[in-house]
Amino acid sequence: MSKYWSAVARKLIPYVPGEQPKLSQLVKLNTNENPYPPSERAVAAIAGELGEDGGKLRLYPDPNGDRLKAAIASFYAADGVSAANVFVGNGSDEVLAHVFQALLKHERPILFPDITYSFYPVYCGLYEIEHVAVPLADDFSIVADDYLRPNGGIIVPNPNAPTGRLLPLAEIERIVASNPDSVVVIDEAYIDFAAEAVPTAIPLVARYPNLLVVHTLSKSRSLAGLRVGFAIGDAQLIEALERVKNSFNSYPLDRLAIAGGVAAMNDRAHYDTTRRAVMNSREQLTRDLHSLGFDIVPSAANFIFVRHPQLDAATLASALRERAIIVRHFRLPRIDQYLRITIGTDDQCTALLSALREIL
C-alpha cells in the first residue's frame, strides 16, 4: 500500500472475477459464459464495421449509441419501450456502476440480498453508499416482505446469483409498488434463461417510474467478450444515468460493440435457439446430478448451484480441476459447501458427469 494512494483506494476491497485460465483443453464451467457462438449476423456486422483496413477505427463512435438503443427498444416495443427508456454501457457492470452513483446514493442505506452478486458491496465501498445485506431464506429464496421497509434504494438480481433462484414477477411488482420513494433496480443478467413465459420486469417499467431493469448481452447473446449492457427505465431515470456517464466517459461503447450489439438484438431466431438449448441442457444436467446424489437449488439461469451431502465442495472442485474441469467455489458463509456450475454444451456436461462418477 503506497503513501500515494487515496483514502478511497486504501479501504476498497475489489471485486474478484471468475478465473480466466490460460490453459487450453479445459472444460470451463466457472464464469457463466454462453457455450455457443454469437449470432452470425453479429459477427458479420463487426467484420463489416471493421472493414478491410480498419479505417473506421480512427473515428470516434456514436457517443449515444443511438442505433443500439433503437434496436433494444424495438426488441421490447411490445412492452412500451422507446429509445428514451434505454441506457447503454460497457457491459452491465459499467451500467450498474453508474446506477449506484446516479440513483442509489442517498441518505438511507440501500438493500440487497446477503448472498448475491459480489460487485454490489464493492460499488457501495467505491461510492461510499451505506447498505444493508438482507438475509435470504433458508432455501436461498428472496423474501419480498424483507424489502418493504425504509431504504435509500433496492437492488435485486433476478434470477439471483450465485443461487439461480427466480423471484416471481408478482413479488417483484410488490417490492416496486411498495417503495414509490426509492429506486428499485432489478438486475436481470440471466433472465433470458428463465422458463416462465414473461419473467422479465420490463413490462412493469411503463407503470412504475421508480423501476430500472438492467440487462447484458454477455449471457444470452454470447457476447461476453464484446462488453455490452443496457438498462430500461423511466426517461428521468435514464437522464440521470446519462448525466453520470457523460461526466465519466462520453464514448463508452466502441464502434464494434455497437455494430455487434445491434445485430445481436435483431437476430431473434439465434437468441431463442441458443437460450433454449442452454435451458434444455440445464434440465438434463439437473436430472443427472440428482441421480448422483447432489442437492440442487432450483435455477432459472445458465448455471446451477449444487452440493453433495457426502463431499466437501472445495475438495470436489479440486478433484474436478485435476481432470481439467473448472467450476466456481465460493468460500463464504452459508454457501461454502456449494459449487456453481455453468451450463456447457452437451459434450461438456457429459465430460463433467463422467468426471463426477469417477470421483464419486
Distances (CA, A) of 223 to 130, 243, 268, 349: 33, 26, 15, 21
- In this prediction, residue 153 carries a pLDDT of 98
Distances (CA, A) of 261 to 141, 194, 258: 33, 22, 5
What spatial distance separates the first Cα and last Cα of the chain, rounded to whole Å? 45
Which residues of the chain fall short of a pLDDT of 70? 15, 18, 22-24
Considering only CA atoms, which of 214, 144, 213 is closest in space to residue 179?
144
Give all strands (DSSP E) within 40-128, no chain letters: 86-89, 110-113
Distances (CA, A) of 243 to 45, 88, 124, 232, 342: 29, 13, 20, 16, 36
pLDDT tens digits for 227-269?
999 999 999 999 999 999 999 998 999 999 999 999 999 999 9
- In this prediction, residue 24 carries a pLDDT of 67
Rounded Cα distance between 231 and 202, Å, is 10
Rounded Cα distance between 94 and 123, Å, is 11
Place of cell 451500467: 95
Strand order in the sheet with 325-329: 27-29, 325-329, 339-342, 303-307, 295-297
pLDDT tens digits for 280-331?
999 999 999 999 999 999 999 999 999 999 999 999 999 999 999 999 999 9
Rounded Cα distance between 261 and 263, Å, is 5
- In this prediction, residue 4 carries a pLDDT of 81
Residue 108: CB partners within 8 Å, gap ≥ 6? 130, 150, 151, 152
For 356, the enclosing helix (H) or strand (E) is helix 346-359
Backbone angles phi, psi at 221, to 5 degrees: -105, 5
Rounded Cα distance between 286 and 223, Å, is 25
Rounded Cα distance between 83 and 250, Å, is 18
Peptide bond into 162 cis (omega under 30): yes
- In this prediction, residue 63 carries a pLDDT of 95
